[in-house]
Chains A and B, each alone.
Chain A
Amino acid sequence: MPVFNQSRSNIIRLIFGAVFLVIFAQLFNLQIFSSKYKKMAQENALFPKRIYPSRGIIYDRNGKAILNNTIMYDLMVTPSQVKNIDTGYFCELLGIDTAEFRNRMFDARYKNGPFRPTIFEDLLPPDLYAKLEENLWRFPGFNLQERPIRVYPFNAAAHIMGYVGEVDSNTIKRYNYGYQLGDYVGRSGLEQSYERVLMGRRGIEFWIKDNKNRLVGHYENKSSDTAAIAGKNLRTYLDIDLQQLAEKLLSGKVGAIVAIEPKTGGIIAMASGPDFDPNDLTGPDKQKNYAKLALDVSAPLLNRAIKGLFAPGSTYKPLGALIGLDEHIITPASGYPCLGVYYGCPHPVKCDEHNPGHAANLRLAIAHSCNSFFSNTLRLEIDNPEYRSARKGLTKWKEYLNAFGLGHRIGVDLPSEDGGLIPDTSVYDKEYHDQWNSCTMVGGGLGIGQDKMSVTPLQMANAMCIIANKGYFYIPHLVEKIDGVSTDSSLLSRYLQKHEVLTHIADDVYEVVMSGMQDVVEIGTARVARIPGIDMCAKTGTAQNRLVLDNKAVYLPNNSMFVCFAPRENPKIAIAVVIQNAGYGATWAAPIGSLLVEKYLNDTLRPGRVAEVNRIAGTNLMPKYLVRVQFKTDSIRAAEWARQTGDSTRWLKYQDPVFRRVSLDTFHLNNAQPVQLKTPVMKPKEIPTIVPPDSVTN
């Protein structure tokens, strides 16, 4: 049999070989050349599960936990496993309707797919949790997942602690701590400042997932997993009892209290009014509560102890004296023949005391808070012959105050502190076109803590520490130590540094200033603050202020201020109290300061003093103009809402004359005519501007 075409067998072999070579080449390309498939396979099949450590706990000076961690539960749903459940009963338990149920199920499917658990309802209230746990077996596909959250057993120190919230994209970019969306991060207060130690270290467990994103097991027997390390605890100087008392005394008031331990700079208490319950920002209603706080014009979220700016008024006077003493311009024997007015400058400054000899020496001048004496002292400091020019004198004076921690951020371990203002030459150059001298400032009231000067309550308390310590201070701070971190770490080392700011004053000269301040309590304006058995040095202050509201200047009640330290020998506490628009310093601020000193030093209050606490706590001193401002911002927002959504029901409420009368009924301001009411119009929001107080008494 002849075999035709036998050569074609070789062609066929060739074709086979060639095609297989092509396949080998592609395999080489896929398996050896390109590395992307390995990565894609990992992304496909590995799920790095984050294990959250518990955040560090914050303790007060006596070891009581100011905040703690607790477990709340999220209700999770895996949509694909939800089958044959009694939807009606389920909705009844949760208090939602079936339409909402369907919506949420749809969202869950949409967000995470049907095979992965998604949050159905987060942070269940305890009673709901109990009900659900009992009935969970009825609802396949639903389960409860632990979620650690913060609790505040004392309901106190909200501003200091701050709160924890989901990390935003800015924070992720700014800090290289490896945050991912959905992580929790300290958003203010100590939670933010000490985020690095509080957060601990996240662990990662690698899980293998299948094609439907279900986790099916550990990857390589956990060999590449990292364990979570719990956050470190903070030990603070805070005395939670004193803190609670301070907050109680501030209720119904706008103001701030700061108490510092002079020897260490440790902050014993720091309160700001109005405040809020820190537990409001952790539980299930945190969004709602936060919105409510954020929209309140009295700004309860604002920590006025570090962000409130006030003219120090008469509380500045001891500092003015110290500068003069350090520069050797005045001596304890210096006096000023004041008869009620300071006539040294073209613009006279009034003084409350008229008796001749009330400022015969430094001690008397401080005790009687003589405006003439301190105006004169400021002039002497600025026109100091040693510097031969007012510019240099002012610069030197500012340097002193800056060294005292005024006019710049003092560096407390809380975020977003304000620095206040101590004016320098450029401020006056700008306003007076270079035509100014020492009388310009005295006329404005700079010598008595007014004019362009503004400070925070924290700075005022710190200034008291300088006097109490006779010339030095430590930067005020809250955290004494961090468990497991040495105190000279970068976080805490700057608080161990002693700031010697007055070096030319002998101790006996300090004694004169202190005696003057003690006289304030014994015989002067702050007699109400006297505590038997405690030598307290103090100074009151009262500052007028006004406000532009509806294009009218409105005079508001005075700011009531009080600074003190006690005991005189070996001081243990220095306090600054500011109550906004409350009246004289001696009326509200001084009793509050006195109660805090007594509570702290004696650990308890005398029987009659408890009634005093309740009287003060029960008095509402909220400035009346806030009602008007609140009405305005709310109605503008309602109008804006109506413009954007077409839903005018909220806006119309503000048009109703009855509602307007009721809402604005409390608007009585002493010096203002009843304001002509305008219809709320859609125009840029008017922000009430606070005009610096222009005169001072006391």
Chain B
Amino acid sequence: MTQRTTITKGIDRSLIWLWFILCTIGVMSIFAATYREGENVLQGFISLKTDYSRQSLFFIIGGIIGIFILLTDSKFFTATANLWYAFGIVLLLLVFPFHTNIKGTKSIIRFGSAFQIQPVDMCKIFVNLALAKYLSRIETDFARPRSQLIAAVIALVPAMISIMQNETGLALVYFSFFLVMFREGLPSSVLIIGASLAVLVVATLLVEPNTLALVLTGIAGLAIYIVRKQIKRHKNVLYLIISIWVVCVGVQRFAVPFVFDHVFQPYQVKRIYDLIGKDYVPKSEAAALEIERQLQSGTKKKGGSDNYNVKQSKIAIGSGGVIGKGLLKGTQTRYDFVPEQRTDFIFCTIGEGFGFVGSVIFLAIYLLLLMRVVTIAERQRSVFSRCYAYGVASVFFFHIIINVCMTIGLAPVIGIPLPFVSYGGTSLLTFTVMLFILVRLDADRQMVLR
């Protein structure tokens, strides 16, 4: 009895409840997406052969692990954060010799036939811990660029490794840690520059190159005209504007085409073009052949033609209407029109089955979770816990918006799962562990952890 009080003491029940609700919705959605008429539901759940039964199993395992985490001392996490990070990097590197090639990704290690792990997925927890640890060090003065650089390196090393493992989507997740750094005092200019760069890249894709160059030149000219008085006093302003202009045109003329042609895989370029509704014409014969080859061999990750995926996904969600067709009534999701619908496109099942109302309620639960995590973050005494909580919020946020935007045609197809809902053991356990560590840390919010 006493033990029980220690577990539950200071625990934020709302987070546990949100976790429970989301996982339940997840199992139900997977059931709706994969159940076939005539199957025995009970047998399906017991046999562990169906996707929904496995997801339920992982749900239960997640709960047990969660209890263990709640029983752990909070100091354990601060003490071992760097160790975990080192472990994560080693695990990531182990993938190179031991990976199994599944659906084109090289990021999965298999044990036997049934069990497999994807280190890049789990590494999120370790990075989050290590980053929080680094930011909470007394020696760290985050105002210094050197510290900012180190923080960025901590976050982006696993991302680089996972890009090398053909797992670009999950690599992108690590960029979400910039939100943590932003909270901890990263200059706004970094975010503004980042956002401007993003706008520039999008503009490069959408606008004809020469027109864009002209527009950029026009903006630069206008800026010089407006600040002409300052220029008279400080020549440096003029140089700054000119150098910005040079960088912009350089990005637009050379950097983006270079990245598209040499860094991205042709199929990734195609996905981006699909999103903005342009036909991707490969520059070289070789690139065209490469796309063809990837399509043929399924090297391209997950599913059939992306355009087809997104189209079917939009049809499924769009046909849901206001209140949806009801559970197990959706014709699109029931009959495999949407590929990968139990994993990355699970949101279609909810969109088609429960319509606009259901989708908004579902997303509102997520928003509630995010807001709650931010609130919890702000009530921490220790920087470590706060940073960790923001890390959780950032990673969840990134996963949710990229995944949902992908299914409704607002983002390119990046195969990352919807937290707690998408089918997949690693993903469910990773998110669960992340959340429960937060709950544990929050229970000790009065402590100062380093």
* Chain B residue at minimum C-beta to C-beta distance from A37: B318
Query: A137 near B: Cβ within 8 Å?
Result: no
Q: Inside 8 A of A34's CB, which chain B residues have their CB?
A: 318
Kindly state whether residue B206 has any CB partner on chain A within 8 Å.
no
Give a binary string over B328-366; 1 marks a CB under 8 Å from any A CB, 0 the rest.
000110011100000000000001000110011001001
Q: Does B404 contact A (CB under 8 A)?
A: yes
List 10 contacting pairs A-B, 8 Å CB cutoff, sorted by A. A11-B182, A20-B363, A20-B366, A20-B401, A36-B318, A40-B319, A42-B331, A44-B315, A44-B337, A208-B331
Contact in complex: B335, A9 (CB < 8 Å): no
Within 8 A of A (CB), among B397-425: 397, 401, 404-405, 408-410
Query: If the complex has contacts A13-B374, A45-B331, A209-B335, are A31 and B183 also in contact, measured as CB distance less than 8 A?
Result: no
Interface status of A128 (Cβ within 8 A of chain B): no
Binds B, one of A21-29, A65-73, A343-351, A665-673: A21-29
B367, closest chain A residue (CB): A20
Contact B367 A41 (CB under 8 A): no
Given contacts A32-B321, A210-B336, 8 further A-B contacts (CB under 8 A): A4-B184, A4-B185, A9-B183, A13-B371, A15-B179, A27-B317, A40-B315, A44-B332
**Of B105-113, B286-294, B375-383, the one with at least 4 CB within 8 A of chain A:** B375-383
A99 interface contact, C-beta 8 A: no
Query: Is B315 in contact with A41, judged by CB distance below 8 angstroms?
Result: yes
Q: Is the CB of A9 within 8 A of B337?
A: no
CB nearest to A38 among chain B residues: B319
A31 to B182: give the CA distance in the assembly, Å. Answer: 35
- CB within 8 A of B367: which of A17, A22, A209? A17
Q: Is B434 an interface residue (CB 8 A)?
A: no
Count of A residues near B, CB < 8 Å? Answer: 40
Number of interface residues of B (CB under 8 A): 47
With A12-B393, A32-B322, A37-B314 known to touch, is A27 a contact of B356 (CB < 8 Å)?
A: yes
A41 neighbours in B (Cβ, 8 Å): 315-316, 318-319, 331-332
By beta carbon, the residue of chain B nearest A45 is B331
Nearest-Cβ distance from residue A208 to partner chain B, whole angstroms = 6
Chain B positions within 8 Å of A46 at CB level: 331
Interface presence of A6 (CB below 8 A)? yes
The answer, yes or no, to whether B37 is at the interface (CB within 8 Å) is: yes
Given contacts A41-B332, A211-B336, contact A8 B183 (CB under 8 A): yes
Q: How far is the CB of B328 from chain A (nearest CB, A)?
A: 13
The distance from the CB of A427 to the nearest CB of chain B, in whole angstroms, is 67
B335 and A12 within 8 A (CB): no
Q: Which residues of A contact B (CB under 8 A)?
A: 1, 4-6, 8-9, 11-13, 15-17, 19-20, 22-24, 26-28, 30-32, 34, 36-38, 40-42, 44-46, 208-212, 216-217
Closest to B185 in A: A5
Q: Which residues of B contact A31 (CB under 8 A)?
A: 317-318, 320-322, 351, 355-356, 359
- Check B356 against A28 for contact (C-beta < 8 Å): yes
Contact present for A30 and B401 (CB under 8 Å): no
Residue of A nearest to B337 (CB): A211
Main SS of chain B's interface residues? helix
Query: Does B448 make an interface contact (CB < 8 A)?
Result: yes
- Return the 4 tightest CB-CB contacts between A and B, nearest first: A37-B318, A41-B319, A45-B331, A210-B335
Compute how far the CA of A221 lies from the CA of B381 in the bound complex, rounded to whole angstroms.
61
A17: which B residues are within 8 A, CB to CB? 367
Cβ of B370 within 8 Å of any chain A Cβ, yes or no, is: yes
Chain B residues lying within 8 Å of A45, measured Cβ to Cβ, are 331-332, 335, 337
Minimum C-beta distance from B412 to chain A (A): 15
Cα of A17 to Cα of B404 in the assembled complex, Å: 15
Give the nearest-CB partner of A41 in chain B: B319
Contacts of B314 in A (CB 8 A): 30, 37
A31 to B319, CA, bound (A): 6
Q: Most chain-B Cβ atoms within 10 A of its Cβ — which of A26, A42, A217?
A: A26
Cβ of A9: which chain B residues have Cβ within 8 Å of it?
183, 374, 377-378
Q: Say yes or no: A23-B315 contact (C-beta < 8 A), given A1-B448, A5-B184, A46-B331.
A: no
Q: How far is the CA of A6 from the CA of B184 in the complex (A)?
A: 9
Chain A neighbourhood of B382, CB < 8 A? 1
Give A44 to B331 CA distance when docked, in angstroms: 9
List, in ascending order, chain A residues with CB within 8 A of B401's CB.
19-20, 23
Complex CA–CA separation, A208 to B321 (angstroms)? 19
Least CB distance, A571 to chain B, in whole angstroms? 68
Q: Give the docked Cα–Cα distance between A473 and B356 (Å).
A: 73
Give A214's nearest chain B residue, CB to CB: B335
Q: Which residues of B contact A30 (CB under 8 A)?
A: 314, 317-318, 351, 408
Q: Chain B: which residue is nearest A23 at the CB level?
A: B404
The residues in B between 231 and 276 inclusive whose CB is less than 8 angstroms from any CB of A are: none
